[in-house]
Amino acid sequence: MLNRYRKAYEKIAMGLLSFMPNEKDLKVLQQTIQTYESEPEWELYLYKKDEDYIGLVGVEKQECELIVHHISVDPSHRGEGLGKLMVQELATLNTDCQVKACQLTEPFVEKCLNNNEQEALS
Protein backbone atom coordinates (compact mmCIF):
# COMPACT_ATOMS: atom_id res chain seq x y z
CA MET A 1 0.00 0.00 0.00
CA LEU A 2 1.25 3.50 -0.86
CA ASN A 3 1.75 5.93 2.04
CA ARG A 4 2.46 9.66 1.70
CA TYR A 5 6.03 10.60 2.64
CA ARG A 6 6.66 12.12 6.05
CA LYS A 7 9.85 13.66 7.43
CA ALA A 8 10.17 10.71 9.86
CA TYR A 9 10.88 8.49 6.81
CA GLU A 10 13.54 10.73 5.31
CA LYS A 11 16.41 8.22 5.59
CA ILE A 12 14.34 5.34 4.21
CA ALA A 13 13.18 7.53 1.33
CA MET A 14 16.73 8.66 0.56
CA GLY A 15 17.92 5.04 0.55
CA LEU A 16 15.23 4.05 -1.97
CA LEU A 17 15.72 7.20 -4.06
CA SER A 18 19.45 6.47 -4.30
CA PHE A 19 18.67 3.47 -6.56
CA MET A 20 17.66 5.93 -9.28
CA PRO A 21 20.51 6.43 -11.76
CA ASN A 22 20.34 10.25 -11.42
CA GLU A 23 20.35 10.25 -7.59
CA LYS A 24 23.78 8.80 -6.84
CA ASP A 25 25.27 12.08 -5.61
CA LEU A 26 24.40 12.96 -2.00
CA LYS A 27 23.89 16.66 -2.75
CA VAL A 28 21.49 15.83 -5.60
CA LEU A 29 19.64 13.40 -3.32
CA GLN A 30 19.26 16.00 -0.56
CA GLN A 31 18.01 18.55 -3.10
CA THR A 32 15.44 16.06 -4.40
CA ILE A 33 14.10 15.31 -0.91
CA GLN A 34 13.97 19.05 -0.24
CA THR A 35 11.87 19.52 -3.39
CA TYR A 36 9.38 16.85 -2.31
CA GLU A 37 9.17 18.39 1.17
CA SER A 38 8.71 21.99 0.05
CA GLU A 39 6.90 22.00 -3.30
CA PRO A 40 3.17 21.24 -2.95
CA GLU A 41 2.84 19.84 -6.47
CA TRP A 42 5.64 17.31 -5.84
CA GLU A 43 4.40 14.21 -3.98
CA LEU A 44 6.40 11.28 -2.67
CA TYR A 45 4.90 7.93 -1.70
CA LEU A 46 6.45 4.95 0.07
CA TYR A 47 5.21 1.40 -0.38
CA LYS A 48 4.90 -0.56 2.87
CA LYS A 49 4.73 -4.34 2.94
CA ASP A 50 4.36 -5.96 6.34
CA GLU A 51 6.60 -3.73 8.51
CA ASP A 52 9.05 -2.65 5.82
CA TYR A 53 9.15 0.21 3.34
CA ILE A 54 10.35 -1.45 0.14
CA GLY A 55 9.27 0.84 -2.67
CA LEU A 56 9.08 4.52 -3.55
CA VAL A 57 7.35 6.57 -6.21
CA GLY A 58 7.65 10.33 -6.67
CA VAL A 59 5.41 12.42 -8.88
CA GLU A 60 4.84 16.00 -9.99
CA LYS A 61 1.23 17.10 -10.46
CA GLN A 62 0.73 19.29 -13.50
CA GLU A 63 -2.93 20.15 -14.05
CA CYS A 64 -4.43 16.84 -15.23
CA GLU A 65 -1.15 14.96 -15.39
CA LEU A 66 0.84 13.07 -12.79
CA ILE A 67 4.43 12.84 -13.97
CA VAL A 68 6.46 10.02 -12.43
CA HIS A 69 9.96 11.39 -11.77
CA HIS A 70 11.18 8.67 -9.43
CA ILE A 71 10.32 5.01 -9.01
CA SER A 72 12.39 2.42 -7.20
CA VAL A 73 12.06 -0.92 -5.46
CA ASP A 74 14.40 -2.44 -2.89
CA PRO A 75 16.69 -4.83 -4.84
CA SER A 76 15.61 -7.83 -2.73
CA HIS A 77 11.98 -7.33 -3.86
CA ARG A 78 12.48 -6.63 -7.56
CA GLY A 79 10.77 -8.75 -10.20
CA GLU A 80 7.76 -9.38 -7.91
CA GLY A 81 5.45 -6.94 -9.69
CA LEU A 82 5.78 -4.25 -7.02
CA GLY A 83 6.87 -1.45 -9.36
CA LYS A 84 3.89 -2.14 -11.58
CA LEU A 85 1.59 -2.29 -8.56
CA MET A 86 2.78 1.15 -7.43
CA VAL A 87 2.02 2.65 -10.86
CA GLN A 88 -1.46 1.05 -10.74
CA GLU A 89 -2.08 2.37 -7.20
CA LEU A 90 -1.03 5.86 -8.27
CA ALA A 91 -3.64 5.80 -11.02
CA THR A 92 -6.29 4.53 -8.57
CA LEU A 93 -5.46 7.23 -5.99
CA ASN A 94 -5.57 9.99 -8.62
CA THR A 95 -8.49 9.23 -10.89
CA ASP A 96 -8.66 12.91 -11.94
CA CYS A 97 -5.11 12.79 -13.37
CA GLN A 98 -3.44 10.77 -16.08
CA VAL A 99 -0.23 9.01 -15.04
CA LYS A 100 2.70 10.00 -17.29
CA ALA A 101 6.43 9.36 -17.28
CA CYS A 102 9.41 11.69 -17.49
CA GLN A 103 12.25 10.84 -19.87
CA LEU A 104 14.10 8.83 -17.21
CA THR A 105 11.17 6.74 -15.98
CA GLU A 106 9.57 6.29 -19.41
CA PRO A 107 10.84 2.76 -20.22
CA PHE A 108 9.35 1.29 -17.04
CA VAL A 109 6.24 3.44 -16.58
CA GLU A 110 5.15 3.13 -20.22
CA LYS A 111 5.58 -0.63 -20.00
CA CYS A 112 3.37 -0.74 -16.87
CA LEU A 113 0.71 1.51 -18.43
CA ASN A 114 0.68 -0.53 -21.66
CA ASN A 115 0.36 -3.75 -19.62
CA ASN A 116 -2.63 -2.24 -17.78
CA GLU A 117 -4.34 -1.37 -21.06
CA GLN A 118 -3.77 -4.87 -22.41
CA GLU A 119 -5.14 -6.42 -19.18
CA ALA A 120 -8.23 -4.18 -19.40
CA LEU A 121 -8.83 -5.27 -23.00
CA SER A 122 -8.42 -9.00 -22.35
Q: Among 80, 93, 98, 114, indicate the residue that binds ligand COA (CB under 6 A).
A: 80
Q: Which of 67, 72, 99, 100 binds ligand COA (CB under 6 A)?
A: 72
Specify the residue, 38 or 122, whose C-beta has the smaller distance to ligand COA: 122
Stretch that binds ligand COA, among 26-34, 35-43, 77-85, 88-96 (CB under 6 A): 77-85
Q: What does each C-alpha distance from 109 to 31, 96, 106 come to in angstroms?
A: 23, 18, 5
Instruction: Calculate the alpha carbon distances from 76 to 29, 30, 37, 79 in Å.
Output: 22, 24, 27, 9
In the three-class reduction of DSSP (H, G, I as helix; E, B as strand; rest coil), residue 72 is classed as: strand
| Neighbouring-strand partners of residue 58 | 44, 70
48 near ligand COA, judged by CB under 6 A:
no
Of the candidate residues 50, 95, 96, 107, the single one contacting ligand COA (CB under 6 A): 107
